Amino acid sequence: EDYEYLDHIYTTDLNETIFMIYQFRQVLDEFNANQNDSYSRIMMTEVYSDIDTTMKYYGTVDGSIRGAHFTFNFWTFITYLIKGVDPFELFQSITLWLENIPRLYTSNWVVRNYTH
């Protein structure tokens, strides 16, 4: 079956999933702190959701709860370019991303991936 055939309300973007990302980040930060090397280990997430839900994967805006170091930004380009947006809509999408991403993190722009 096609994935889009079903509504994945019991498996997609659950609060429990996002909370688990926060727990993974704590473990990763503790692991990094206990290593005697100069390597930085990071956690990246791949989220196909609305912007509010995507931002939750980063953690809280003030950084008191940390989530993924990096969440691939499929939201701005892939999601909207597939729909055939005009330049103004793309500008609005980029602006919305920049206004929502917590300042602790770096923006990224994915224009294509293995499935699109």
Angle among Cα 75, 99, 105 to the nearest 5 degrees reads 75
Q: How confident is the model at residue 22, as a pLDDT?
A: 98
The gap from C-alpha 88 to its chain's centroid, in whole angstroms, comes to 23
Model confidence band, residue 20 (pLDDT cutoffs 50, 70, 90)? very high
Each residue of 52-95: pLDDT tens digit? Answer: 999 999 999 899 999 999 998 876 666 666 667 788 888 888 89
User: 68 and 43 in contact (C-beta within 8 Å)?
Assistant: yes
The predicted model gives 22-47 an average pLDDT of: 95
User: 66 and 105 in contact (C-beta within 8 Å)?
Assistant: no
Q: How confident is the model at residue 54, as a pLDDT?
A: 92
Q: Cα–Cα distances in Å, from 74 out to 23, 33, 44?
A: 24, 31, 13
User: 93: which 2 tokens?
Assistant: 């999408």
Q: List the domain boundaries for the chain.
A: 3-73
